[in-house]
Every structure is written in structure tokens, then in C-alpha cells.
Chain A
Amino acid sequence: MAEPRTRIAFRGGGFVLGNRRWAPWIAFVIIIAGWEAASLSGLLPALFMPAPHEVIAALRDLVNSGKLGNHIGASLYRVLVGWALGTSCGLVAGFAMGVFSMARAAGLPVVAALFPIPKIALLPLLILWFGIGEPSKVATIALGVFFPTVVSTFSAVDAVPRNLIRMAQSFGLGMPDILRKVVWPGALPGILAGFRISSSIALILLVSAEMIGTQVGIGAFILGAGNLMQTDQLVAGVVLLSILGLAISFLLSLAEKTLLRWR
């Protein structure tokens, strides 16, 4: 009798994420087409959700009104200044906490206590301190960005392999050199990952920051549209915010690609 002969079947498939560049576009198209269809058929009443073509019309009106640049310019200024301010302070504090045990012991409980406070709850205080002009808006964003930056910087510094620091010490590098040449580049991946979170938070807080005392800015535009129940404009504003978020995410990816080529 012949020995049974079995062909080996491949069983290692799946679980490997391939590159599907077109997939996100298809997903977008399907979602928007389905949405438009639901709106046109009356399944999705205009009262509750505007149709995509109405949103596009609202966006076109915004472009034609010439105010789009003002809104985006004002918001970009607030986000960039607030984010830069919160990030630079957060980096310094996070670095100090990652490197000095005194700063860590003192800083950790403070951060733990203040991080979860919704910054929006502090808005009245921020208005008292900084007024209703630009400073309070920038401060809201800066404050929201500061704490996650501290946490991500601190963990990133903490995660720099100790053996690299010991190596640098064994070659006689001083503290400033070690921070600059070992700790900073070693912590950079974690810090850039933190930037993704903090930039999203900055955009989220933009709407809160622009609640007070302004009619210009994407957040103010969204809030105004919400107050007036102009849902098409509201969704148009949200679309703008999403585009801003995608642009920032793209820039960060670019930064990661250039700065972290070594990974």
C-alpha cells in the first residue's frame, strides 16, 4: 500500500497589513455617497443632518464671502502660537522631570492633579486673567497642550535606554552634551508621537477657545452656526477643521520621516 501523500497547505496568511493607498478614498466616497443618498431619499431629514451638497454649497458661500481666509488665518494663528507656547513649556518641564529626580518627585503629582481638569472649565478664570482678546484664546490652547506634552516628553526621556547614557558618561561627556546628543534624539520619537496628540488637542480646544469674544475663526464659525441652527454651515466648519487636522497630521508625518530616518 502506498504511503498517503499530502500536499502542504499554506496557512500563514492574513494579519499582515499591506499597503492599500486607494482604500481611504473609496471609504470616503462610499460614506459621502451613502449620506447624500440618505438625504435625497428623505431617510435623513434635513432638520437633523444637512446633505453633502448643502455642505459643499455652504463651503462655497464661505469662499465667495471672502471670509474663509480670515477664519483660517485667525484659527491658525491661535493654534500655532498656543501650541508652540504649550509645547515649549511642556518640553522643558517634561525634560526636567525625565532627568532630575527632584523635578520628577515634585512634578508628577502636580501633573496628575492638573492634567484631567477640562480646560474649558477654566475658561472664566482665563478670561479674568487674560481678558477676552487673543491672549485668553492662546492660553486656553497652550494650557491644553502643556500637560500631554509634559507627560509624553517625560515618558520619552524616561524611555531613552540607560545604557546609552552610561556609555556617554564612560566617554566623559558632560551633562549638557549628554542631554543634547543622547537624551534629546533618543526621546524624539516619543516626543513626536506626543505632538500628534497635542496637535489634535489644540484643534479640539480651538472651538472652546473661540467661544469667547470673537466672530472670526473656524471654531467661532462653527459655534455661531450651531447657535443659529445653520447645520449646513456647522458641518462645513467641521469639514474645515478636519482638513486642518489632516494637514497637521501630514506635516507631522513628514517631520517623522525626516527626523526619524534612523528607525
Chain B
Amino acid sequence: MYGNLDALVLALSQLTQPISLALLIGGIVVGLVIGILPGLGPPIAIALALPFTFYLEPVPSMILLLGIYSAAIYGGSISAIAVGIPGTGAAIATVQDGHKMFKSGRGGEALGFSLTGSIIGGLVSALCLALVSPMLAELAIKFGPREYLAISVFGLLVVVRVAGQSLPKGLLAGALGIFLTTWGLDELNGTERYTFGSYHMYEGLPLVPFLVGLFAMSEVLIGAERALQKIDFSKESLSVKLPGLKTLGKMKDVILRSSLIGTIIGIIPGEGAAVGAFFAYSEAKRRSKHPEKFGTGIPEGIVAPETANNATVGGALVPTLTLGVPGSPAAAVLLGALLIQGLSPGPKLFTERPDLMYSIFIGLFVINILMVFIGLVAIRFAARLIMVPTSVIVPTVMLLCFVGIYSVSNSFFNVGVLLAAGILGYVIRKLGYSIAPLSIGFVLGPILENSLRQSLTIADGSVTEFFNTPIGLVIYAMLILTILWRPLMEWFKRAKTN
């Protein structure tokens, strides 16, 4: 494929060295813990391990970092399900159904679904990476400003439609999220916007403290209100169950579709695991025979986002390895690790180091399989969290948020943002708005703004040039279809019966 049998043998011999295996397991454990903790996400997890790779060969370094990356994305779902607080941005979409299922006494089952989905998503995307990454790289470079604009508009509207109860409220929350991203320095011409005269605001509202505040702090505040309520649970809910083949067979469409959505979103530089998870969730809901059940605690609502977010890992590696353009913030740190090793990720890497490429492909497979066992141990503990009273969980989570945010940035300003975002999230939820559209607006806002302004530069005043983007037009068409699908189907049904 990319080299010869020698390269494959070399890759296998490097992977089976004791140090590689030890790093594999160590990486997964570290990633899992960091993923579970709110505020610490995959990019931070990888950056923390980066100094260790100075002393390692390229193959063990990549294995360590990939283990951390995969496990951190999966780990976020454990806190999302067991505490109702996403450990990472990737798990935001998992909270709705995951935590509802947990509270209704099906915690062990919910955790099993997220583990299984994550593993399958990771495996499918690793397969895509191994088999068709040069082709996928072609897709990645086709994404210019106009294509980004189309996918951002698509993402925003799709998420707004699925996340809230009412469309106007969802749109308002999404718009608020976008508005808040305009704070800080204008990225293109440096104009100061809403900086309130403080250079701390030049960076704008920092993403991680804002999202952790919005989800974790607001959940903590709401949880504090019901501190005295007792959750009834049965002993059986504590035992972790992985879904059987029959259950998975019923969900095979959701799983396959979510894997592909995650892989593709991962490939597009700048769109990370959170967006992939939301897309998959909304697609699963749209295609479902019972879309109204989404959000009430059903397995599909966990499997779709969890499969997709782990599928973004393999996807994000495609542009990282083949173009030298990171597919996600975590992949950017991974790229740095390769550069430190004296390698130049880009179109030449495949021919220069086929053994490294094989090691990454095979390594990703092994990581996902080992994650089943390590994940099972972790969720056995997580399932028991339901026995811990809210009065213990609330202050613990609060403390973890503060420590997490402060330790990552060493900045009290960011802790202030965490608190302010928490209060904002609390007020918004109390007013009956959903915070998911707000968060997706906040994630996509900068991409939306930049791509719109760059598209206008390219178009140079011409409307036809603005829409002269085949990929973009396909995305816009899909968006229109997504919105009109149900009304159209109903119209057809009525026409038939008449």
C-alpha cells in the first residue's frame, strides 16, 4: 500500500516492544482520567505528555499520545452520563440522553452503550485512516472558506433544531453564543470589540472555561437546589452491561452512520469532536422512527454522539499526517510531537516513514481494543456514583472545575469566566432555554465569522462567485432537505391518502 512488507514488519516489531505496550496502557489510563475531569480535555492531556516524548522514539511517542487522545475523548462521556456534566466538549451531546438514562436507574447500561459506541467509532475511523487516507486528504484540502461557511451554517441550524424544545428559543440561544465569540480582538484586522479596556479580553472569552462554566457550573447550581432530593435506584443498575450483538444489530445503521459522520467531521480542519457528536445525534434523531424519544434517555441518544466523537480521532489524523494541517486542537499537539521527532508531517511523510504510518494505523486498533478492558474498570466505579449524595458531588465537582481551569491557564481571569458562564448557564436554563445551542454557537462562531468574511473577500462582490463551491452547494442542499424532509414526507402521505 504505502510501502512494503518490510515496513509492516518493522512497525509490528516496534509496537510489540515492552515499552510500547506499557505506554499504550499508561496513555489510555491517563487519557481516561483527564477526560473524566471537567475542564481538562484531549489537547491539554496530550500537551502534558509531550515532554515525555522527547526521550522516546517516534513510534512509542505516537502510541502514547494516541492512547491519551482516544481515551480522553471517551472519558468525557463517563462524567456526562454519571454526573450530567460533560468531561470534555466532545461529550456535550451525550449528556441529554446519557444522564437521563442514568437517573432512571439504567446507569450501568448507559455506560456500556457509550463504551461500545466509542470503541466502534474509533475502530471504523482507524480503518478509514488506514485504507483511504490519501483520498480523504483530497477532501480535506477542498475545504476553503466557502465550504467552511456552508458546514458551519449547517451545523448551527441542525443543532439548534435538535437541542432545544422550541425553535425560536434555540435560535436565540445559538445567536447569543455567536455574539459572545465576537468579543475580543477581531482576528482579521485587530479591531478591539467588547474588550472593556482590559487586555485580558483581547483573547475573547476563553473556550474551555466558558464551556465548563456553562455546563458544569450551571449543573452544579441546579443540582444544589435539589440537594435534598433522593434518587431511587435499584441494585441492578449498578452492574455494568455491554450491549449484546442483537441490540447492536438493531442499531447498526445509527452506528455506521455516526462513525462516518465523525470521521468526515474529524477530517475537516477546525471542526472537532463536539461538532461531530452533535451532527451524529441530530442525524440519528432525524432518521429515527421515534424522534420525540430523543432527550428522554434512550440508547440511540448515547450511541450516536459517542460513536461519532471517537470517530473524529482517526479523521483528524488524516489532514494532520497527510497535509501537515491539524484536524483538531488535540491533533495540533500531536503534529508538534512529530515535528519534535524530526519528522515533517505532510504529503511526503507516507513515503518517508511507511513504518510509522503502519504503526499509527495498527496502534489505533490496539488502543481501541484495550480501551474496552480499561473502560470497563472505570465505568464500574462510575456506575456507583449514583450512591454518592448530591451534597458530596456538588462541592467536589465545583472544586474540580476551579482546580482544572486554574491549573491549565494559571489565570484567575479564566476562573472568573468560569463563574460568569456558570451563572449565565443557570439563568438561561431557568428561563427554559437549552444551553446546547448556546455552546454550539460559541464553538462555531469564530469559524462562521472568519469563513464568511474570507468568502466575501474571494467573491469580491460577485454573488455567483460566493456560491461557486460544489461542496458548499451540496451542504446547503442537504440543509434544506434536512429542514424540509419531515414536512415534505407528511405532505406526500397526505397527498397519497387523498
A binds B: no
B residues within 8 Å of A by Cβ?
Answer: none
A residues within 8 Å of B by Cβ?
Answer: none
